[in-house]
Chain A
Amino acid sequence: ELKVEQNPLFLSMQEGKNYTIYCNYSTTSDRLYWYRQDPGKSLESLFVLLSNGAVKQEGRLMASLDTKARLSTLHITAAVHDLSATYFCAVGRFGNEKLTFGTGTRLTIIP
């Protein structure tokens, strides 16, 4: 059974600092997503990573995928308050829309 683990579960960081969220998964998968969820809201797609070594960047967020290590990272650069949210990684297989989600990382940016 596919398991997806994220760490840390909770993260408080000061504005302007850098940090990384880690996503490990237990079996071979073909694609990895990162989503953001604000309190009481739905999931917003951030990145889709489809191949080993894939790296995508949007603003202060950068995601990477290492399929051999079964690891994805979400790196936050020079955090700002607007990035406060819960971040989820999710793993899936080609030809199958089922996603297995990680536990989520609740990120709080402190001014």
Chain B
Amino acid sequence: KAGVTQTPRYLIKTRGQQVTLSCSPISGHRSVSWYQQTPGQGLQFLFEYFSETQRNKGNFPGRFSGRQFSNSRSEMNVSTLELGDSALYLCASSRSRTGVETQYFGPGTRLLVL
């Protein structure tokens, strides 16, 4: 069974630009969560989508947004990029929202903002 896939794997952008990252969950998984990983802040929760609805949101500014499509694929968007947005962005999928199942992580998108 294919794992979680993320595209693109690497991105270089400049300050002020915007970026869209994509995540395809494992087949049959309906919950998709996004995390930001940086050396300074570690792994931080961005948001979670289930059935095309945002169910939970972390403490990030409104420049960070996301959505989920009917096939459970998800995108996250960061507008007006700042240097501090350079990070590894990971998405994770799970089958449901019971919270008892493993979340499987994708390979991540490494974003560098210059």
CA distance A41 to B88 in the complex (A): 10
Given A30-B99, A31-B99: A97 touches B48 (CB 8 Å cut-off): yes
Chain B 54-83 per-residue mask, 1 if CB under 8 angstroms from chain A, else 0: 011010000000000000000000000000
Say how far B86's CB is from chain A's closest CB, in angstroms. 15
Measured CB to CB, the nearest residue on chain B to A90 is B43
| Chain A 92-111 interface residues, beta-carbon cutoff 8 Å to B | 92-104
CA distance A43 to B105 in the complex (A): 6
- B107:A101 contact, CB within 8 angstroms: no
CA distance A74 to B92 in the complex (A): 22
- B43:A42 contact, CB within 8 angstroms: no
Given A33-B102, A42-B108, A43-B90: A96 touches B58 (CB 8 Å cut-off): no
- A101:B48 contact, CB within 8 angstroms: no
Say how far B53's CB is from chain A's closest CB, in angstroms. 13
Measured CB to CB, the nearest residue on chain B to A102 is B42
Q: Is the interface of B mostly helix, strand, loop or mixed?
A: strand
CA distance A50 to B58 in the complex (A): 23
The one of A31, A44, A98 in contact with B56, judged by C-beta atoms closer than 8 angstroms, is: A98
CA distance A30 to B42 in the complex (A): 22
- A88:B43 contact, CB within 8 angstroms: yes
CB-defined contacts of B55 to chain A, threshold 8 Å: 96-97
- B102:A45 contact, CB within 8 angstroms: yes
Q: At the interface, yes or no: B94 with Cβ under 8 Å from chain A? A: yes
- B31:A97 contact, CB within 8 angstroms: yes
Q: At the interface, yes or no: A48 with Cβ under 8 Å from chain B? A: yes
Measured CB to CB, the nearest residue on chain B to A47 is B102
CA distance A19 to B104 in the complex (A): 27
Instruction: Kindly name the residue among B31, B98, B103 whose own CB sees the greatest number of chain A CB atoms within 10 A.
Output: B103
The one of B43, B56, B90 in contact with A97, judged by C-beta atoms closer than 8 angstroms, is: B56
- A45:B104 contact, CB within 8 angstroms: yes
CA distance A6 to B35 in the complex (A): 19
CA distance A92 to B88 in the complex (A): 21
Q: Interface on A for B, CB 8 Å cutoff?
A: 30-31, 33, 35, 41-45, 48, 50, 88, 90, 92-104
